[in-house]
Amino acid sequence: MNLIIDVGNSYIKLAVFKGDTLLETESINPSFFFKTINKLDQKYSKIDNAIVASVGRLDILDLKALKKRFNLFVLDVDSKLPFKNLYATPKTLGIDRVALVCASVDQFPDKNVLIIDAGTCITYDFIDYKNNYYGGAISPGISLRYKSLNAYTANLPLLEIKVPNQLIGDSTENAIHSGVINGVVNEIDGLINAYEDKYRDLTVILTGGDAKFLSKQLKSSIFANSNFLLEGLNYILHFNLNE
């Protein structure tokens, strides 16, 4: 069994895989890190391998403790990957984006794939059918757009995410909802259309914290998978263990 550890800026996601089968996921505060690992290790007594991917911070002592318990693989910019990285600045490519591209290689081989990760930021990553990764785009996520309107203006309120009832906002709150949500939806649909114009037989994956919300709003045909990144990390672990 494999333990997947995805360290974000605010939370840590943990997952247990048996082969390619996802058995359990946890999203936790960093203060509960080892308590949750102990719980999972007791529940699944045959966890042998683990992978750590960190865009946040994981203490060196924590890594040492993990290495004592598991056959630990730490994903970084120098790790062996199952695709050709044509990004102009490969060492600046986020580990989370690397994992998403690896998941597409595993699950959609010989396909042109656009992966859209809708979280704090919305990232777009493109890999072609020859396993060449080119890059994509990064823009503010839904919550970030709401927060920015509140933080950088004098009078606009901070609102919770809400599907707008109408295109034309007839109040300040409705105008914000219309601007943010319709702006994100049209951005995503527009970029999908632009990629489809350039690349035939495009497969589009939508993942991330806002994937479920956005999948209901988009006009484009997509595959929504909230666990795509975890599946990608599990694949990277298999790929490197078998090298």
What's the pLDDT tens digit per position in 69-90?
999 999 988 899 999 999 999 9
Residue 243 lies in a domain: no
Is residue 174 a contact partner of residue 164, using CB atoms and an 8 Å limit? yes
Q: What is the pLDDT of residues 13-71, one digit of tens each?
A: 999 999 999 999 999 888 888 899 999 988 998 899 999 998 667 778 888 889 999 99
How far is the C-alpha of 121 from the C-alpha of 219, rounded, in Å?
21
| Active-site annotation holder among 6, 41, 96, 117 | 96
Is residue 17 a contact partner of residue 60, using CB atoms and an 8 Å limit? no
Per-residue model confidence (pLDDT) at position 149: 97
Overall domain count for the chain: 2
Per-residue model confidence (pLDDT) at position 30: 84
Picking from 74, 95, 130, the residue at the C-terminal end of a domain is: 74
Adjacent-strand bridge partners of 7: 12, 54
Residue 65 lies in a domain: yes
In single-letter form, the type of residue at position 109 comes to P
The answer to whether residue 205 scores a pLDDT higher than 90 is yes
Would you tell me the crossing angle of helices 142-151 and 172-198 to the nearest 10 degrees? 140
Residue 125 lies in a domain: yes
- Where helices occur in 78-167 by DSSP H, the ranges are 95-107, 142-151
Q: Which two tokens stand for residue 234?
A: 């599990």
pLDDT category of residue 141 using cuts at 50, 70 and 90? very high
Q: What is the mean pLDDT of the chain?
A: 92
Specify the 3-state DSSP secondary structure of 117. strand
Shared domain for 21 and 124, answered yes or no, is: no
Query: What CATH number is attached to the domain comprising 183?
Result: 3.30.420.40
Per-residue model confidence (pLDDT) at position 59: 77
Report the percentage of the chain scoring pLDDT > 70: 98
Per-residue model confidence (pLDDT) at position 195: 97
- Among 241, 227, 240, residue whose Cα is nearest residue 81: 240
Q: Can you give the residue range of the structural domain that contains 181?
A: 84-233
Per-residue model confidence (pLDDT) at position 29: 87
Per-residue model confidence (pLDDT) at position 58: 75
Picking from 23, 43, 74, the residue at the C-terminal end of a domain is: 74
Per-residue model confidence (pLDDT) at position 56: 64
Task: Provide the strand spans (E) within 19-94.
Answer: 21-28, 49-54, 71-74, 84-85
**48 noted as active-site residue:** no
Residue 240 lies in a domain: no
Shared domain for 116 and 152, answered yes or no, is: yes
pLDDT category of residue 135 using cuts at 50, 70 and 90? very high
